Structure 1
């Protein structure tokens, strides 16, 4: 009997359950503050995931990462772009920096999702190359503006 319970417990521990919980966009947004550290801020949002065991990631985690991408796209289209169009000067620049940080968050979610899919045996090399190039471009834009104000924009959306 003890052997069976121990075996079941060990088997259950070997399967990584979904580590992410439903979040509001405002709770995961990194758009505010200052520019320059978007990559680290984005990675912190996803720090609950064991990056050393991506093959064991749960489908719920993949869905969460997909939904982060989706709500960040929506925030860009429905919040950042209209706000940038309505602003000028320093205000528009600060909103643009927030938009870039939002893009870094979106693209980090995409890269991590692709890394999981790759670890689970899917061939995503073409997508990985395309998305990595976009991510590096946005990280560079963020770093080029390091220390400058970045505007947080509230957006009503929720992850899966």
Structure 2
């Protein structure tokens, strides 16, 4: 009997149970505060995900990561861009820093989703490289502004 149970246990595929639940944009946004640590702040949003076991990320969590990308993209277009266009001086600069932090969050979600898909056997190498380049650029922009205030903008959207 033990041999059978051990065999079954050895053949069981472990999938991370869905670790994310629906959240609204304001709950996950990292746009406020100060520039300089957006990468760490973004990774903290996704801290429940086992980054050492991306091959077993649940489909619901892949959907969550995708929806974070979508709502951050919507916030950029519908909240940040109009606010930046209407502002000037330091107000516009602080909004731009918030927008960059928002992009770091968006791209981190995308990278994590793509890394999980790749670990699960999907060929996403080209897209992963493209998105990583974008993320690196935005992280550098955030770090270049380290210590400067960044503006949080409220946005009405929720993850799936």
**2:154 matched residue in structure 1:** 154
Summarize the Cα distance change of 1:2–1:142 in structure 2 as closer, same or farther, 3 Å threshold: same
Could you tell me the TM-score, scaled by structure 2's length? Answer: 0.93
CA distance in 2, matches of 1:125, 1:13: 25
**1:81 matched residue in structure 2:** 81
User: How many residues end up aligned between the 2 structures?
Assistant: 160
1:121 Cα deviation after fit:
0.5
Summarize the Cα distance change of 1:4–1:16 in structure 2 as closer, same or farther, 3 Å threshold: farther
> After the TM superposition, which segments of 4 or more aligned residues of structure 1 sit over 3 Å from their partners?
1-13
CA distance in 2, matches of 1:18, 1:159: 14
CA distance in 2, matches of 1:74, 1:45: 18
1:16 Cα deviation after fit:
1.5
Counterpart secondary structure, 2:146 = coil
**Aligned Cα root-mean-square deviation (Å):** 2.1
**1:116 matched residue in structure 2:** 116
**2:63 matched residue in structure 1:** 63
Summarize the Cα distance change of 1:6–1:20 in structure 2 as closer, same or farther, 3 Å threshold: farther
CA distance in 1, matches of 2:113, 2:120: 11
